[in-house]
Amino acid sequence: MDFGAIALACRRADAAYQTTPDASKSAFTALGDSWVSLYTTDSMQAALSVDPAGATWLSISGTRASDGYLADVFRDVSLEPKAVSGGTVTAGVWADLETVWDWARDTAPGGTVFNVTGHSLGAARCQASVAIVDPKQLGALYAFASPKFIGADLFKSHAAVFQRLTPVVNGSDGWASWPWLDLRWRSRAPIPTVWLKDDRGTFTVLPDGNQWKGGWAFEDHDIGGYQKRLDVIAAASDIKPAA
Range with the largest mean pLDDT of 73-87, 90-104, 151-165: 151-165
Q: pLDDT at residue 73 above 80?
A: no
Residue 33: pLDDT above 90? yes
Residue 133 has pLDDT above 70, yes or no: yes
Query: Given pLDDT bands bounded at 50, 70 and 90, which one contains residue 42?
Result: confident
Q: What pTM did the predictor assign?
A: 0.93
For residue 57, which phi and psi values (nearest 5 degrees)? Answer: -120, 130
Per-residue confidence (pLDDT) for residue 78, from 0 to 100: 78
Q: Average of pLDDT values for 120-138?
A: 97
For residue 55, is pLDDT > 80? Answer: yes
Residue 34 CA to residue 31 CA, distance in Å, equals 9
Q: Is the pLDDT of residue 174 over 50?
A: yes
Does residue 175 contact residue 153 with C-beta atoms inside 8 Å? no
**Residues 6 or more apart whose Cβ sits within 8 Å of residue 29:** 35
83 DSSP β-pair partners: 88
Average pLDDT over every residue of 216-228: 96
Say which CATH topology domain 3-235 has. Rossmann fold (3.40.50)
**Distance from C-alpha of 132 to C-alpha of 154, rounded to nearest angstrom:** 12
* pLDDT for res 77: 67
Q: N- to C-terminal Cα distance for the chain?
A: 16
d(CA 189, CA 201): 23
Helix boundaries (H) for the chain: 3-15, 21-30, 70-77, 91-94, 97-107, 121-128, 152-157, 159-162, 223-235
Q: Say whether pLDDT at 70 is over 50.
A: no
Calculate mean pLDDT across residues 209-213.
Answer: 97
* Sequence-separated (6 or more) residues with CB below 8 Å from residue 70: none
> Residue 81 half-sphere exposure, CB side, CA atoms within 13 Å?
15
